[in-house]
Amino acid sequence: MKKQNNIYKRILIVATNASALDDFHKTGVWLEEFAVPFLAFKEAGFDVTVASPLGGESPVDEDSLECKNPTEWDYTIKELKNTAKLSEIDYKSFDAIFIPGGHGPMIDLAKDETLGNVVSYFYNEHKIVSAVCHGPAGLINAKTLTGEPVVKGMQLTCFTNKEEKIVQKDKLVPFMLESKLRQLGAIFNEAEPWEENVIVDKNLITGQNPASAKKLAQAVIKKLCSQNNHC
C-alpha cells in the first residue's frame, strides 16, 4: 500500500517482556509477527509506538531468527530494544492496538491487568483491537462495560491447539490458548495448521499464526482507512 499522510492515526503495539517458558526453554516475541505488521503500518503512514508491561527490552524468540528472513525484519528489532512502559502510555490517544505473538504473551500478557484495562478501553470505545498467534492471550483479562469477557460471542482465532502440539509446546505453556478463549465464550475459527487465517468481527481482528501476520496488518489498515477517506 502506498504511503499516505495518515500520521494522525496512531497504532499502539504491545509486546511481551517474557524471555523464557521455563529454565530450559527460551521464548519472546516471534519476529515475523512483529516485523511484518510494524513495517506495514509504517508504510501506510501511521504513527506507531511499541510498548510492553515493564518497558525496556522485548526479547525476540531466537527460533524466529532465520537466515531466510528479509533483512528489513532485522531493522525492526531495534524497536523492541527499548519499548515504552505500558502504564506510562497515554493509550487513549491511539486509534488501534496490536499484540504480536510468540509464546512470551502466554507468560506475561495473559495476566497483565494494565493490558486488560487498555484492551477493555479500546474494545468498549469501538477502536480496533488486533492480535496474532499467541497475541490474543492479551485479550483474556479485557472486559465489556457489563463485565463480560470481550471475547465472549466474538468470532476470532489464535494459534490452535493442533499447532501447539505440532511444535511440542503444549506441555510447556501455562494453558492452551484456544481452549481458554473457547472457555471464555469465543466463537473459535480454525484453519489447517500453518494456513493463513484472519478473522474480522466488528472492531476485533485476529490472526491464527505467523503466516497470517501480513493479512492481519492489511485488515487493520483497511479498517483504519475506512474511518477516514485519506488512505
pLDDT of residue 227: 77
Structural domains of the chain sorted by starting position, each given as residue range(s) with its CATH number in brackets: 10-226 (3.40.50.880)
Say if strands 198-201 and 204-207 run parallel, antiparallel, or are unpaired. Answer: antiparallel
Q: Kindly report, residue by residue over 144-176, the tens digit of the pLDDT.
A: 999 999 999 999 999 999 999 999 999 999 999
Instruction: Please name the residues in contact with 178: beta carbons below 8 A apart, sequence gap of 6 or more.
Output: 158, 159, 160, 161, 164, 188, 190
Q: Kindly report, residue by residue over 47-74, the tens digit of the pLDDT.
A: 999 999 999 999 999 999 999 999 999 9
> What are the CA-CA distances from residue 85 to residues 13, 88, 116, 154, 218 (Å)?
11, 5, 15, 29, 27
Instruction: Please state the rounded mean pLDDT for residues 118-132.
Output: 98
Phi, psi of 106 (to 5 degrees): -65, -25
Residue 73 has which C-alpha cell? Answer: 525484519
Q: Kindly report, residue by residue over 65-109, the tens digit of the pLDDT.
A: 999 999 999 999 999 999 999 999 999 999 999 999 999 999 999
Q: Kindly report, residue by residue over 191-223, the tens digit of the pLDDT.
A: 999 999 999 999 999 999 999 999 999 999 999
pLDDT of residue 230: 55
pLDDT of residue 90: 98
Instruction: Please state the rounded mean pLDDT for residues 38-44.
Output: 97
Residue 120 has pLDDT above 90, yes or no: yes
Residue 124 has which C-alpha cell? Answer: 468498549
Strand, coil or helix: 4: coil
Instruction: Please state the rounded mean pLDDT for residues 7-21.
Output: 93
